[in-house]
Structure 1
Amino acid sequence: MDPYDLVLVAVDGSEESTRAVEYAVAVADAYDAAVHVAYVLGEDVAENYEDEGYADTAEEIAAERGVEIDTSTVSGFSKSRLSQHPGSVVLDTAEERGADFIVLPREPQTGTRAAVLEKTAEYVLCYASQPVLSV
């Protein structure tokens, strides 16, 4: 049995997210694991979210290596829970999916509005029970 069956990668549509998907697929390929891409929406994006085709990009990257992939979209904020943090959403998604390994981008340098994961890497590194790769 391989040590990793499912690699979770958290993305926000930034260029850094694409790089994180590439790393997640490489880890999954090395351990014969699958990848789950969680698109984490920020408050300013969630209310008017339209599929930007990011899942297609992730699927293309995975197909190049023959890695199984699936995707979901989660909200990285809550209007009713002030304590919710995008990092807690990533960890909750990892737990729900049974992820054995987490990959996520570090703070993006692009300054885009979509960059909801800006402070998430530090949070996930502190609280995850799974191995974490921040790229």
Structure 2
Amino acid sequence: MDIETVFVPVDGSPQSVRAVEVAVAVADRHDGGVHALYLLDHEAESHTQEMMVATQMLAGDVPVRHSSAYGFTTATLAQHPGSVVLDASEDVDADFVVVPRQRPSALLGKAAGYVLQYAEQPVLSV
């Protein structure tokens, strides 16, 4: 399996840090890179930069790119946070997805369940 980009949605929780560690390990094993998507809600914006710095530090020599997106806003009531994650993973042409499933935040938990059900790429739940 050729894996150039491992995609990992994060929210700043310890569970998402673990998902980043696993994503980095997968990317490193396949000489790929990591793309971390910070899944925002209206209360979490202030932690975005901290999580991205932590992601970069965890990655070491593995190339890291990152972005952020709102998983839920009042303007997109009909949009599921999981579809935000899947759309972003397609935008970056991800080959593999790692999602935190062990007690993530409510927003990331909803997204992870959706990703496991509908992703076209292989998904690892940690």
TM, length-normalised to structure 2: 0.91
Matched, 1:55 2:46: no
CA distance in 2, matches of 1:52, 1:95: 23
Name the structure 1 match of 2:114: 123
Match of 1:90 among 85, 91, 115: 85
Matched residues, number: 126
Paired residues of 2:41 and 2:73 also in contact (CA < 8 A): no
Alpha-carbon shift at residue 33 of structure 1 (Å): 0.6
CA distance in 1, matches of 2:100, 2:14: 9
Q: Which has the larger radius of gyration?
A: 1
Alpha-carbon shift at residue 31 of structure 1 (Å): 0.5
Matched, 1:103 2:94: no
Alpha-carbon shift at residue 17 of structure 1 (Å): 0.3
Alpha-carbon shift at residue 81 of structure 1 (Å): 2.7
What CA deviation, in whole Å up to 9, does each residue of 1:14-56 have, x standing for no partner?
A: 000000000000000011111001000023335xx45451111
5+ long unaligned stretches in structure 2: none
Name the structure 2 match of 1:133: 124
Alpha-carbon shift at residue 85 of structure 1 (Å): 1.2
CA distance in 1, matches of 2:109, 2:117: 15
Alpha-carbon shift at residue 107 of structure 1 (Å): 4.7
Which runs of 4 or more aligned residues in structure 1 lie more than 4 Å from their structure 2 counterparts after TM superposition? none
Paired residues of 2:12 and 2:48 also in contact (CA < 8 A): no
Paired residues of 1:86 and 1:117 also in contact (CA < 8 A): yes
